[in-house]
């Protein structure tokens, strides 16, 4: 599988033509960067300033959220408390919006992030995977949290762009509030810890995903119908509508002028010849030789050279 570039830096969005490294790293079909997109995978955006979910953990308590049911993380909100030296979290999830897409191969990262360490998670996966869950535990001695992340492959998309934040999205001991645009998704979280502040800063890797076009599919044409008004018609039907900018469907019917091959003609049968019957009239020899029997006329039917 193609991996995200570890040396990806800069505040601009990387596209297909920007670097040899991006072409090499994203060479897999599902992760190949594309230069244009007819339809993006989207979601309903979380308002950064309102309607966040309630806090999902208490101070020093476990935090766990799994979006599930075709949803992804679209926003992170967190506040720090200096007394507890901990953070509370509110994670926003939204359904994916796009025809023909699904989340597959979902999994949690295999190990926890380290105490007081710097990390980028999940690591070693493609740009077509997005964050769909997060969990963490607090440790009173380290005054830190360790994290695991749930991530899924998005089936039915290609990667348009990958953007990695170059600046931290929060200050130490300050609020974190990050809500991505409707056509972006979180791919990774990066963090480092300060022993002086006993807190963490966070930044993100964001991806844009393009919906793969699905062409229209149509049935075979029927045979040409009977001539009506010197024209004949044939038809077909749609078996699949186009999606995401795919090839549109063609005509459902066609007409043409009647042709000699398709015009019905009536051939008259030849009249049957009548058989000729010839009558031969004579006297019976046997009656002449028999006394007392009158002579009878002998009628012979001659049909095609045969006596009957």
What is the per-residue pLDDT across 31-79, written as a single tens digit (0 to 9) for each? 456 667 888 999 999 999 999 999 999 999 999 999 988 999 999 999 9
Q: What pLDDT does residue 260 have?
A: 57
Residue 267 lies in a domain: no
- Mean of the per-residue pLDDT values for the chain? 79
Strand partners, 64: 135
- Spatial strand order in the sheet of 306-307: 278-283, 297-303, 306-307
From residue 95, alpha-carbon distances to 102, 112, 144, 208, 240 in Å are 11, 27, 31, 16, 24
Please count the structural domains in the chain: 3
Residue 3 lies in a domain: no
- Cα–Cα distance, 108 to 36 (Å, whole number): 32
**Could you tell me if 250 and 284 lie in one domain?**
no
Decide: 220 and 236 in contact? Cβ < 8 Å: yes
- Cα–Cα distance, 69 to 72 (Å, whole number): 9
pLDDT beyond 90 at 144: yes
pLDDT beyond 70 at 25: no
Phi, psi dihedrals of residue 105, rounded to the nearest 5°:
50, 45
Q: What pLDDT does residue 34 have?
A: 61
Residue in 177, 179, 204, 176 with CA at minimum distance from that of residue 190: 204
Decide: 41 and 183 in contact? Cβ < 8 Å: yes
Distance of CA 97 to the CA centre of its chain: 12
Residue 244 lies in a domain: yes
Res. 2 pLDDT band, cuts 50 70 90: very low
Final residue before a domain boundary, out of 180, 211, 242: 211
Residue 263 lies in a domain: no
Decide: 106 and 152 in contact? Cβ < 8 Å: yes
**Could you tell me if 170 and 252 lie in one domain?**
no
**Could you tell me if 30 and 178 lie in one domain?**
yes
- Cα–Cα distance, 45 to 34 (Å, whole number): 24
Q: Domain range holding 287? A: 278-307
**Could you tell me if 103 and 236 lie in one domain?**
no
- Cα–Cα distance, 274 to 150 (Å, whole number): 97
pLDDT digits (tens, 9 = 90+) for 212-252: 876 677 788 888 888 988 888 888 887 666 666 666 787 87
**Could you tell me if 163 and 77 lie in one domain?**
yes
**Could you tell me if 170 and 246 lie in one domain?**
no
Q: What pLDDT does residue 239 have?
A: 63
The first and second tokens of residue 197, run together, are 């502040």
- Cα–Cα distance, 156 to 41 (Å, whole number): 10
The first and second tokens of residue 30, run together, are 């599902």
First CA to last CA distance, the chain: 100
- Cα–Cα distance, 22 to 19 (Å, whole number): 5
**Could you tell me if 60 and 206 lie in one domain?**
yes
Residue 13 lies in a domain: no
**Could you tell me if 205 and 289 lie in one domain?**
no
The first and second tokens of residue 228, run together, are 């009506």
């Amino acid at each position: 599988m193609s991996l995200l570039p570890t040396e990806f830096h800069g505040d601009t969005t990387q596209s297909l033509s920007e670097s040899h490294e991006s072409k090499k790293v994203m060479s897999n079909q599902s992760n190949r960067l594309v230069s244009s997109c007819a339809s993006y995978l989207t979601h309903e955006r979380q308002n950064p300033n309102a309607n966040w979910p309630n806090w999902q953990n208490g101070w020093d308590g476990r935090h766990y959220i799994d979006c599930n049911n075709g949803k992804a993380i679209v926003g992170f909100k967190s506040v720090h408390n200096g007394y507890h030296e901990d953070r509370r979290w509110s994670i926003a999830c939204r359904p994916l919006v796009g025809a023909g897409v699904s989340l597959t191969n979902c999994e949690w990262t295999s190990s926890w992030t380290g105490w007081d360490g710097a990390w980028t998670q999940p690591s070693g996966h493609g740009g077509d995977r997005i964050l769909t869950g997060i969990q963490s535990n607090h440790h009173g001695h380290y005054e830190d949290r360790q994290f695991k992340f749930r991530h899924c492959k998005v089936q039915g998309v290609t990667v348009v762009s990958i953007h990695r934040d170059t600046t931290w999205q929060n200050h130490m001991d300050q609020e974190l509030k990050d809500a991505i645009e409707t056509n972006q998704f979180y791919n990774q979280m990066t963090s480092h810890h300060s022993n002086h502040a006993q807190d963490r800063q966070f930044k993100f890797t964001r991806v844009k995903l393009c919906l793969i076009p699905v062409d229209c599919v149509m049935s075979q044409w029927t045979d040409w119908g009977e001539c009506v008004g010197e024209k004949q018609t044939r038809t077909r039907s749609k078996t699949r509508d186009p999606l995401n900018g795919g090839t549109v469907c063609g005509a459902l019917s066609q007409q043409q002028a009647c042709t000699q091959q398709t015009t019905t003609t009536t051939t008259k049968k030849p009249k049957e010849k009548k058989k000729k019957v010839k009558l031969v009239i004579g006297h019976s020899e046997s009656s002449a030789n028999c006394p007392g029997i009158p002579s009878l006329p002998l009628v012979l039917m001659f049909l095609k050279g045969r006596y009957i």
